[in-house]
Amino acid sequence: MLIHRQTDIAPSEITPPRHWRDRRALVQAAVAAGLLGAAGQAAARNTSSQKLTAKQSPLSTMERATPYELVTSYCNFYEFGTEKADPARTAPARLRTRPWQVAVDGEVRRPRTFDVDDLLKLAPLEERIYRLRCVEAWSAVVPWIGYPLAELIRHVEPTGNAKFVEFTTLADPQQMPGLPSRVLDWPYVEGLRMDEARHPLTLLTFGLYGEVLPSQNGAPLRVVVPWKYGFKSAKSLVRIRFVERQPVNSWHKSAPKEYGFYSNVNPNVDHPRWSQASERRLGDDGLFNRRRPTLMFNGYGDQVAALYAGMDLKRWF
């Protein structure tokens, strides 16, 4: 069994699940008292309160979870705008998450279009507290809810020609006000190598903090790949396709010298416009923006480094 534990974190630093679940009441009280900004208020008002039951996973980090209100109000989701507050302000009122279907096809023996609620029941749900590291050098710790993507892969039976998995996000201008900006070529596309997609850490994700995914965080389902920069974890999926050739992911297509296909968290490979050697943890690093060293593979090296044995991770960034 793969077990990830951070041995230098004291037990007092671990956030019990009841504390982050109780934050909903605290957020509502803060809104009433005028203590949250506009983005925090939007997240508190509009995030669904539908609960998800999940077993606790031993693959969780022992670090303290980032406050719920930060994770749901400080978001990258360019389909709803390029500012961090845009998704929380616009997505909850505009994104329709039911009905929702996901096509799973390509090099598989059992292609199928799933209703999202059928996908939700395909395997037992787990709660996994994972680090999230953004390419912009900020990070968070999030209790995600889902099950290994490998469960879906097993169900559709890939052929021997399936070398990669391609993920496609919804692109609907009527629901997504950011699409006319053309900041990227839509729809948003991401991809993984098959061994990465099958890895036990790769999570098909339906919720966070004990609830269904908020719209601004990628409802109704997304993938979470915790050892890679956050843009690899595609949101609001409508298609999962198994292909023989490496997909051209959206950010690599837009800026190939800045965003590689692999995008593993690597403090030794700087972004051309800033260093990746350190990061700022949302909610934890104080008024003066104290920074912490970035961990190789976001701290998951013991589990995933073997996937890249023999590869030059500066060339294959």
**Number of domains observed in the structure of the chain:** 1
CA-wise closest residue to 129 among 65, 69, 198: 65
Task: Answer whether residue 268 is part of any domain.
Answer: no
Residues ≥6 apart with Cβ < 8 Å to 98: 116, 117, 220
> Does the model's pTM come out above 0.85?
yes
Task: Answer whether residue 242 is part of any domain.
Answer: yes
In the chain, pLDDT over 90 holds for what percent of residues? 81
Task: Answer whether residue 231 is part of any domain.
Answer: yes
Task: Answer whether residue 271 is part of any domain.
Answer: no
Task: Answer whether residue 311 is part of any domain.
Answer: no
pLDDT tens profile 188-197: 999 999 999 9
How many C-alpha atoms does 163 have within 13 Å on its Cβ side? 5
pLDDT tens profile 216-258: 999 999 999 999 999 999 999 999 999 999 999 999 999 999 9
What's the Cα-to-Cα distance from 13 to each of 7, 69, 284, rounded to whole Å? Answer: 12, 19, 11
Confidence at 46, pLDDT banded by 50, 70, 90: very low
Tokens of 270: 């700087």
Confidence at 53, pLDDT banded by 50, 70, 90: very high
Task: Answer whether residue 47 is part of any domain.
Answer: yes
Domain with 238 in it: what CATH number?
Answer: 3.90.420.10
The boundaries of the domain holding residue 196 are: 11-133+142-261
Task: Answer whether residue 295 is part of any domain.
Answer: no
Tokens of 80: 């709803």
Q: Where are the beta strands (DSSP E) in 134-215?
A: 138-148, 164-169, 189-193, 203-208, 211-212
Task: Answer whether residue 270 is part of any domain.
Answer: no
What is the pairing mode between strands 203-208 and 211-212? antiparallel
What is the pairing mode between strands 164-169 and 138-148? unpaired
pLDDT at residue number 49? 63
